[in-house]
A = this chain, B = another copy of it.
Amino acid sequence: MCILMRMTVRVAVAGASGYAGGEVLRLLLAHPEVEIGAVTAGGSAGTRLGQHQPHLLPLADRVLVDTTAERLAGHDVVFLALPHGHSAALAAQLGDDVLVIDCGADFRLADPAAWQRYYGGEHAGSWPYGLPELPLAGGGRQRDALRGARRIAVPGCYPTAASLALAPAAAAGLVEPDVVVVAVSGTSGAGRSLKPTLLGSEVMGSVSAYGVGGVHRHTPEIAQNLAAAGGEPVTVSFTPVLAPMPRGILATCTASLAGDADPAAVRKVYADAYDDEPFVHLLPEGAWPTTGATLGANALHLQVTVDADARRLVAVAAEDNLTKGTAGAAVQCMNIALDLPETTGLSTVGVAP
């Protein structure tokens, strides 16, 4: 027999017809402390949620309502899963005591110049950045900035993988501040957008590069995180690659060694960084990450080695872009902000094969 104290958190999800919003709902359905309130959408308002998210059976008959501040008011937590540019106005109309967690990009970048260059338009500002495990240059973790927060910016899916893959090395001074990241992603990262290049006929059986040459919007976010970890500016060459799978990111991250780091020392730095982290898993020596093992899990699998000939550290991280890469991180941040155990309702178990 056990006695449990339960708080029930009332939660709204804006953008519930999209992939990120659907994943937030999927995770919330498994969260023991949450009651799901309003589910909102843009053009799909008025339709059944089951029409867009047939996998969310318990919510199939919920009707989507318009994404307005009125509809979102009256909840303890509001998740925003919207295209960038919509969050600031909505958040301004929600009380300061409401926890607003933005899965979009609006409040991720601290530097207005970076915002303007990569996104265009006025910078809305920045919110506490929702990557709890990120080691910071001065010691401590990014987690500390999230306790009690009422506004949180969830990281981009690529930056989560790339930053956690390289941050321990950056923080320990193992590598030069000049990194190369090539990250392969499933198609859901692009959302449910009706672009010819995202049609099944185009993506199946094919891999393609896009946003090459430093122009992808996640580039400055990776740089920001690694600078926070390493305490110095970091140059990032980032190339995203689209692969024929719905979910998953595999980020191959390399940087020149700063000194004579041997593999064992490197491994120890990573083990020290993540052994106590419930959602970051350093694989046993010799094993390399596969995105399939992280499907649907709030887990990042990681491995690191040293290429002695090339004098580079190579770290590879795998995650589910929709889970640890977006919605799982969002729920994790909610738990931290609300002082719930960080792992509440979140599983590290993937669905495989």
Contact yes or no, A349 B212, CB < 8 A:
no
Size bracket, chain A contacts: 35 or more
A163 within 8 A of B: no
Question: Is B254 a contact of A206 with CB atoms below 8 Å?
Answer: no
Interface positions of A from 290 to 309, Cβ below 8 Å from B: 290-297, 299, 301, 303, 305-309
Could you jot down 11 A-B contacts, CB within 8 Å?
A: A30-B349, A51-B287, A55-B350, A187-B201, A201-B246, A205-B248, A209-B252, A209-B288, A209-B316, A237-B254, A243-B243
Confirm or deny: A53 has a beta carbon within 8 angstroms of a beta carbon on chain B: yes
Q: Which residues of B contact A239 (CB under 8 A)?
A: 182, 252, 254, 314, 316
Q: Which residues of B lie under 8 Å from residue A314 when comparing CB positions? A: 212-213, 237, 239
The 5 closest A-B pairs by CB, nearest first: A206-B292, A55-B350, A208-B290, A200-B203, A182-B182
Copies of this chain in the oligomer: 4
A19 at interface, CB cutoff 8 A = yes
Taking the nearest CB of chain B, how far is it from the CB of A48, in angstroms? Answer: 8
B309/A235 in contact, CB under 8 A: yes
Is there a chain B Cβ closer than 8 Å to A98's Cβ? no
A88 within 8 A of B: no
CB distance from A201 to the nearest CB of B (A): 4
User: Which of B1, B29, B289, B349 lies in contact with A26, CB distance below 8 A?
Assistant: B349
- Chain B hits for A341, CB < 8 A: none
Contacts of A2 in B (CB 8 A): 4, 6
Known interface pairs A187-B199, A212-B314, A241-B252. Does A54 touch B207 (Cβ–Cβ under 8 Å)?
A: no
Least Cβ distance of A102 to chain B in Å?
22
- A5 contacts the other chain (Cβ, under 8 Å)? yes
Residue contact A243 to B244, C-beta cutoff 8 Å: yes
A206 to B198 CA separation, bound complex (whole angstroms): 16
Q: Are B250 and A208 in contact (CB under 8 A)?
A: yes
A130 CB contacts on chain B under 8 angstroms: none
- B352/A248 in contact, CB under 8 A: no
A44 to B301, CA, bound (A): 23
Known: A198-B199, A199-B200. A293 touches B55 (CB 8 A): yes
Q: Which of B51, B60, B213 contacts A307 (CB 8 A)?
A: B213
